[in-house]
């Protein structure tokens, strides 16, 4: 391994050095500062004689006399089942004073694309115990379903609730036939120490830490390191899922910080910027993270992803949520108005979506009436929402009896169906029964999206009379 | 992908040396290459294509990940442009962006993950196909002429043609029986030999004699598309929409139900699970015309968002070239590209790595030219052998933030003649397909009306116009309703709103997940519309006779209009509703 003292330029997170032997693209570099610190980086561009290096820990302390070593390999993550229960920093070094980690294998963190031919289509229902998700935007194993949130909204509480409660219903009945266990990988990028404590406390309180691996890049850690953290997390997830048969739930927070870091590096490299200064390859870059969710034919385990991102200015057309939405299989939208009304979790189901829902629900999976009930509630809630605007202008009295029923439906939908608190764990049956309670407020003939037989079976006749008697 | 002939490679070209690597863009020195030549890069032999030559410096876009590749490694030129292998076996296949079969790659790599530096031919070179000659010794054949057929799948007979770049001549020898695609089956007096496969460079359109005006609709089985915004066989359409508005489902519905002979489905930079869904579903689903599995008429090209970006740029060309080859056999081909925005972004990404001067929003200045070149390869063609074949192209567009004013949408709209605008509001209220009937248009309407009039119903054009008028009127009335509420409207306008509601809920909405509703034949599309019109006519008669609008709305039979789509025995069902509507509404006065 050759050492160079040939740094020619230091600019933001980038270091340029002259070399006299070929260096591979993406290779890992160690830089030793005159103070004796060792910093790690990665080759961003390699041409004959000159390489540009992005330094994960930031370029502070590097001067032109620092020595540069090229390790001759791309970035690897040491993986082993023993990682469960451990807390690592954003570069994958243990920070929990635990024993040294002896890896089974060292894996390239970039990861290769899963051959679409080898994938298995995700259709196993995951019960999160949250009605707005289970009932309306069902999560399935192997899905990537982000939470689109905003600053100050309780997305962390929701993520924790999902991590705590997520189960696959049949397995509760002792059907441990596939022998797969559940694991949570938590990748934090640029979150505050306080948020980090909140997560860690909850993990410790509920004992979830034992089946978790935590990667922490905090707000005051170097931004460039955020490039690596999710890749380490996903490499660990893939190992646990496809080698050790775990069902892995990966929570990545906050993707907005990740994208900011991407922009920072792009700017330092003087690249042609795309929308709002984010690099033109951000779609591809994000896809290389999100697409690492899934199931593979012939493998027991699965990788399910719940990335969290805060939308700048609550704007879902901002490049970060926009590109994310084009890659992920739906989104869960947090809503500021619902939050101020005290609805917990404040999920607005209308702009939320789960693309894989249709194949994960129905007879034999959840319940025969699930699809129709969810469709009908969507339509009815949307109609109620529309009418609210009108009520503001003309008042309730000016509306017909039919319209008033839809307005009542929308109110109760938020108060009873969406509202449940962060500690309530509802089974899918409970969720759907609440759904029928609410739908029965509407006249039977308005339920045009539900099969007639299902209406006969579930529709509550007495509710109608009660409402009409009001 | 075609491996160049070994001997030829050595004589034509010299190897070069890598000078620099930046993501998918690699430069090499001392490489004797022409533009668009395919090269093998580095010790691992990663496939790439020459995209710029400047002095001694050649720029290459690499179709695989370049991690670990460094300067000094060799670059080998094949001396051939990026081409596809065309021959039997393409249907029922799934390829990546440079026509490597994904199932073969899985076998060769021995893992579910895509490894690097593995090559595989686009069609199976070992497989024996049954060749049945269609010409005899002594016959004169010209380029494009069919010399024999091969049963490729249960649905499709593959036609073996004289390649378009041959001279043609008298048939001097012809075989019959089982052969591989590389064995010669026909010999010509010109000395040319014909095999069951051809190679064709993807960036060059295959020749045709003439382009004609399309006159037949591509029947999609989707009411809003067939009924209001039809696409012609040989036409072009764009589906722009923000995320979550149902682009992919709409595309997949077209791939499943449209009455093309061949479907080429390109998943360009989209989700892996979506392609898996297609791979799992299509072999099980029946083709609506033949009842055979859908895969028997389908060729899939999957370059998901996390697969190399350069291969995403080329997958569109791979797809359209395969489509042209089947067109040359005289088939009606439908090509779905999901999504052309990802293709444009791949161009942008590579262009920015080349440090080209950017055009609008960072896209290269040649974006518009590339898009129109692609869509111009669609059409209804008179083939060089005198037959006729069509390619219909449907491109999905994913505008950032759902904003249709961005360059890809705008440049696409300048070219395509059918525009299906997806609407996030409609999708949010689960109105699917979420095609906005006020914004969408089809310029094929007039040229397709004669077909509808003669095949389906003589009053088709009037009935459709009636529906359009009612929906337009609803749009205007809704603005007033937003201000004063529905009950403040005069009774006739309230009734119009009610009729429009049935048009939206019973006719425009269609449940892709329902076994029956997922496909709606044109006759049913027409009958459902006339049933709603019957309600309209009877209801207005009742209103004129003095019946209050509430009573009209409350007739039992009316809500049953919403169940027409899902009804299997629709003819009897609709007849019954119409009779009931008439009886119940007339009983009110």
Reported ipTM: 0.84
Of A116, A272, A403, which has the smallest distance from its Cβ to B352's Cβ?
A272
Q: Tell me the fold of A370-469.
A: 1.10.1140
Omega before B149 cis (within 30°)?
no
- Judge whether B258 and B226 are in contact, CB under 8 Å: no
In a domain, B142, yes or no: yes
Residue of A2, A25, A48 to mutate, interface with B, max B Cβ within 10 Å: A25
Phi, psi torsion values for A25, nearest 5 degrees: -65, 140
Q: What pLDDT, in 10s, does the model give residues B166-198?
A: 999 999 999 999 999 999 999 999 999 999 999
B214 and B351 part of one domain:
yes
Q: In degrees to the nearest 10, what's the CA dihedral of B222, B225, B228, B229?
A: -170
**Which domain-ending residue is among B149, B171, B196?**
B196
B49 CB-contact burial (10 Å; exposed 0-12 / middle 13-18 / buried 19+): buried
**Residue A90 in contact with residue A230, Cβ under 8 Å?**
no
> Is residue B24 included in any domain, yes or no?
yes
Domain ranges of chain A: 3-73, 77-359, 370-469
Residue contacts between A and B (CB atoms, under 8 Å): 226
Q: Does B267 touch chain A (CB under 8 A)?
A: yes
The pLDDT of residue A20: 86
The domain spanning residue B578 has which CATH number?
Answer: 1.10.1140.10
Distance of alpha carbon A325 from alpha carbon A146, whole angstroms? 8
Residues of B in contact with A382 (CB under 8 A): 428-430
CB-CB neighbours of B416 under 10 Å? 24
Q: Is B372 exposed, middle or buried (0-12, 13-18, 19+ CB in 10 A)?
A: middle
The string of DSSP codes covering A284-301 is: HHHHHHHTT-EEETT-S-
Consecutive H or E run containing B313? helix B309-328
Which CA distances in Å does B288 have to A188, B166, B255, B299, B447? 50, 38, 11, 17, 25
- Taking CB atoms and an 8 Å limit, are B481 and A353 in contact across chains? no
Same domain, B437 and B506: no
Q: Is residue B111 part of a domain?
A: no
- Residue B482: closest C-alpha in chain A: A390
Q: Would you state the pLDDT for residue A470?
A: 43
Q: Do B325 and B437 lie in a common domain?
A: yes
Extract the tokens encoding B450.
């004669």
The domain boundary residue, chosen from B143, B166, B196? B196
Closest CB to A113 among B71, B267, B304: B304
**Residue A196: other Cβ atoms inside 10 A:** 18
Q: How many Å apart are CA A240 and CA A246, to the nearest integer? A: 6
**CB spacing of A116 vs B505 below 8 angstroms:** no
Q: Which structural domain, as residue segments, surrounds residue B19?
A: 3-81
Beta strands in A34-180 (DSSP E): 38-47, 50-55, 67-74, 76-79, 86-89, 105-108, 119-120, 125-126, 139-140, 147-149
Contact indicator for A324, A146 with CB cutoff of 8 Å: yes
Q: pLDDT tens digits, chain A, 470 residues: what are they?
A: 678 888 999 888 889 999 888 888 888 899 998 888 888 888 888 887 889 898 887 788 888 888 999 888 888 899 999 999 999 999 899 999 999 999 999 998 988 889 999 999 998 999 999 999 999 999 999 999 999 999 999 999 999 999 889 888 765 444 444 456 889 999 999 999 999 999 999 999 988 889 999 999 999 888 888 989 999 999 999 999 999 999 999 999 999 999 999 998 888 877 778 788 898 889 889 999 999 999 999 999 999 999 999 999 999 889 999 999 989 999 999 999 999 999 999 999 999 999 899 888 988 889 999 999 999 999 999 999 988 988 888 888 888 888 899 999 999 999 999 999 999 999 999 999 999 999 999 998 888 888 889 999 999 886 544 444 44
Q: How far is A296 from chain B (nearest CA, A)?
A: 7
Residue where a domain stops, chosen among B172, B196, B220: B196
In this predicted structure, what is the pLDDT of residue B7?
A: 38
Question: Which residues in chain B come in under a pLDDT of 70?
Answer: 1-14
- Shortest alpha-carbon distance between residue B24 and chain A (Å): 10
User: What per-residue confidence (pLDDT) applies to B141?
Assistant: 94
Which pLDDT value is given to residue B14?
64
- Judge if B251 and B352 occupy the same domain: yes
Do B65 and B159 lie in a common domain?
no
Contact present, B322 and B86 (Cβ < 8 Å): yes
Which residue in chain A has the smallest CA separation from B479? A390
Using alpha carbons, list the distances in angstroms from residue B57 to A335, A435, A439: 54, 66, 69
Element (H, E) at A32: strand A27-32
CA B41/CA B18 separation, integer angstroms: 8
B189 and B213 part of one domain? no
Residue B296 lies in a domain: yes
8 Å CB contact between B233 and B260: yes
The answer on B391 and B354 residing in a single domain is yes
**Residue B299 falls inside a structural domain:** yes
- Write out chain A residues lying below 8 Å of B20, CB-based: 45-48
Query: Which pLDDT score is estimated for B356?
Result: 84
| Cβ-nearest to A118 among B67, B112, B349 | B112
Is B109 within the bounds of a domain?
A: no
What is the fold, at CATH topology level, of the domain defined by A3-73?
Answer: Thrombin, subunit H (2.40.10)
State pTM to two decimals: 0.89
Number of domains in chain B: 4
* The predicted structure's pLDDT at residue A365: 87
Q: Are residues B337 and B253 in the same domain?
A: yes
Q: What φ, ψ does residue B544 adopt, rounded to 5°? A: -65, -30
Q: Are A314 and A123 contacting, i.e. CB atoms less than 8 angstroms apart? A: no
Inspect the interface and report whether the beta carbons of A46 and B21 lie closer than 8 Å. Answer: yes
Domain CATH number, residue B148: 2.40.50.100
Q: Are residues B400 and B271 in the same domain?
A: yes
Q: DSSP secondary-structure letter at B121? A: -
- B172 and B69 inside one domain: no
Fold of the CATH domain A77-359: Rossmann fold (3.40.50)
Residue B157 in any domain: the answer is yes
């Amino acid at each position: 391994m050759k050492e160079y003292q040939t740094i020619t330029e230091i600019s933001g997170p980038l270091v340029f050095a002259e070399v006299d032997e070929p260096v591979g693209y993406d290779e890992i570099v160690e830089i030793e500062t005159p103070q004796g610190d060792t910093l790690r980086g990665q080759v961003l561009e390699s041409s004959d004689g000159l390489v540009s290096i992005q330094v994960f820990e930031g370029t502070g302390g590097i001067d032109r006399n620092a020595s540069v070593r090229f390790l001759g390999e791309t970035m690897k993550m040491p993986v082993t089942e023993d990682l469960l229960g451990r807390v690592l920093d954003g570069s994958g070094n243990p920070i929990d004073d635990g024993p040294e980690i002896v890896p089974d294998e060292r894996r390239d963190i970039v990861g290769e694309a899963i051959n679409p031919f080898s994938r298995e289509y995700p259709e196993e229902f995951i019960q999160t115990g949250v009605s707005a998700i289970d009932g309306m935007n069902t999560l399935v194993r192997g899905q990537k379903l982000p939470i689109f949130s905003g600053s100050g909204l309780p997305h962390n509480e929701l993520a924790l609730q999902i991590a705590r409660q997520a189960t696959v219903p049949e397995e509760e009945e002792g059907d441990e036939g596939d022998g797969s266990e559940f694991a949570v990988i938590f990748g934090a990028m640029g979150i505050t120490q306080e948020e980090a404590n909140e997560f860690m406390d909850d993990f410790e309180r509920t004992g979830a830490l034992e089946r978790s691996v935590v990667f922490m890049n905090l707000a005051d850690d170097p931004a460039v390191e955020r490039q690596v953290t999710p890749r380490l997390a996903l490499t660990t997830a893939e190992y646990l899922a496809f080698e050790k048969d775990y069902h892995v739930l990966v929570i990545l927070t906050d993707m907005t910080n990740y994208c900011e870091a991407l922009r920072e590096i792009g700017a330092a490299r003087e690249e042609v910027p795309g929308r709002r200064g984010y690099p033109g390859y951000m779609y591809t870059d994000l896809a290389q993270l999100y697409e690492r969710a899934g199931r593979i034919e012939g493998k027991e385990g699965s990788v399910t992803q719940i990335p969290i991102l805060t939308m700048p200015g609550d704007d879902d057309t901002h490049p970060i949520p926009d590109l994310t939405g084009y890659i992920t299989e739906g989104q869960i939208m947090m809503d500021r108005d619902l939050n101020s009304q005290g609805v917990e979790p404040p999920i607005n189901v209308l702009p939320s979506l789960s693309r894989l829902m249709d194949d994960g629900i129905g007879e034999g999976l959840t319940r025969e009436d699930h699809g129709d009930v969810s469709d009908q509630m969507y339509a009815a809630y949307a109609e109620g929402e529309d009418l609210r605007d009108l009520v503001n202008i003309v008042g309730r009295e000016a509306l017909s009896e039919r319209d008033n029923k839809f307005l009542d439906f929308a109110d109760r939908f938020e108060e009873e169906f969406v509202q449940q608190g962060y500690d309530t764990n509802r089974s899918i049956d409970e969720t759907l029964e609440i759904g029928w309670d609410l739908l029965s407020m509407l006249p039977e003939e308005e339920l045009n999206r539900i099969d007639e037989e299902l209406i006969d079976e579930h529709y509550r006749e007495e509710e109608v009379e009660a409402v009409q008697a009001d | 992908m075609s491996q160049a002939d070994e001997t030829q490679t050595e004589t034509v070209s010299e190897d070069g040396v890598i000078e620099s690597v930046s993501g998918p863009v690699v430069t090499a020195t001392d490489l004797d290459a022409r533009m668009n030549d395919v090269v093998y890069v580095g010790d691992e032999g990663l496939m790439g294509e020459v995209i710029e030559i400047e002095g001694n410096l050649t720029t290459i876009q690499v179709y695989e990940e370049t991690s670990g590749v460094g300067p000094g490694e060799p670059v080998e030129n094949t001396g051939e442009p990026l081409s596809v292998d065309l021959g039997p076996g393409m249907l029922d296949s799934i390829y990546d962006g440079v026509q490597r079969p994904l199932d073969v790659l899985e076998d060769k790599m021995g893992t579910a993950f895509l490894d690097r530096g593995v090559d595989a031919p686009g069609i199976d070179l070992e497989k024996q196909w049954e060749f049945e000659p269609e010409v005899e010794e002594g016959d004169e054949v010209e380029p494009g002429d069919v010399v024999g057929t091969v049963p490729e799948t249960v649905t499709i007979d593959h036609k073996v043609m004289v390649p378009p770049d041959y001279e043609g001549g008298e048939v001097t020898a012809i075989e019959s029986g089982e052969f591989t695609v590389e064995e010669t089956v026909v010999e010509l007096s010109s000395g040319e030999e014909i095999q069951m496969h051809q190679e064709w460079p993807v960036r060059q359109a295959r020749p045709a004699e003439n382009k004609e005006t399309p006159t037949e609709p591509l029947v999609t089985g989707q009411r809003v598309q067939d009924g209001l915004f039809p696409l012609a066989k040989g036409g072009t359409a764009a589906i722009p929409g923000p995320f979550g508005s149902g682009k992919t489902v709409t595309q997949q519905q077209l791939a499943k139900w449209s009455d093309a002979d061949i479907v080429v489905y390109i998943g360009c930079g989209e989700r892996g699970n979506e392609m898996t869904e297609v791979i799992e579903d299509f072999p099980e689903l029946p083709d609506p015309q033949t009842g055979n599995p859908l895969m028997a008429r389908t060729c899939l090209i999957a370059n998901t968002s996390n697969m190399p970006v350069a291969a995403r740029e080329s997958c569109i060309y791979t797809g359209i070239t395969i489509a042209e080859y089947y067109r040359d056999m005289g088939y009606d081909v439908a090509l779905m590209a999901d999504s052309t925005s990802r293709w444009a972004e791949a161009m942008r990404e590579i262009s920015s790595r080349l440090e080209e001067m950017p055009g609008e929003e960072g896209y290269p200045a040649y974006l518009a030219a590339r898009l129109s070149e692609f869509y111009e390869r669609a059409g209804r063609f008179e083939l060089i052998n005198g037959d006729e074949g069509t390619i219909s192209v449907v491109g999905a567009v994913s505008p950032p933030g759902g904003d249709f004013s961005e360059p890809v949408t705008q440049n696409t709209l300048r070219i395509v003649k059918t525009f299906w605008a997806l609407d996030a509001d409609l999708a949010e209220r689960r109105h699917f397909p979420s095609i906005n009937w006020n914004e969408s248009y089809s310029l094929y309407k007039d040229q397709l009306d004669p077909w509808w009039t003669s095949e389906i119903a003589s009053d088709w054009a009037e009935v459709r116009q009636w529906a359009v008028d009612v929906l337009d009127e609803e749009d205007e009335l809704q603005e007033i309703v937003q201000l004063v509420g529905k009950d403040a409207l005069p009774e006739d306008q309230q009734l119009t709103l009610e009729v429009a509601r049935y048009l939206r809920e019973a006719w425009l909405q269609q449940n892709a997940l329902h076994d029956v509703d997922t496909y709606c034949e044109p006759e049913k599309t027409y009958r459902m519309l006339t049933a709603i019109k019957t309600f309209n006519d009877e209801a207005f008669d009742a209103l004129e006779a003095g019946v209050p609008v509430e009573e009209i709305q409350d007739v039992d039979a009316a809500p049953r209009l919403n169940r027409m789509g899902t009804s299997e025995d629709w003819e009897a069902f609709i007849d019954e509703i119409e009779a009931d509507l008439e009886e119940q509404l007339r009983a009110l006065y």
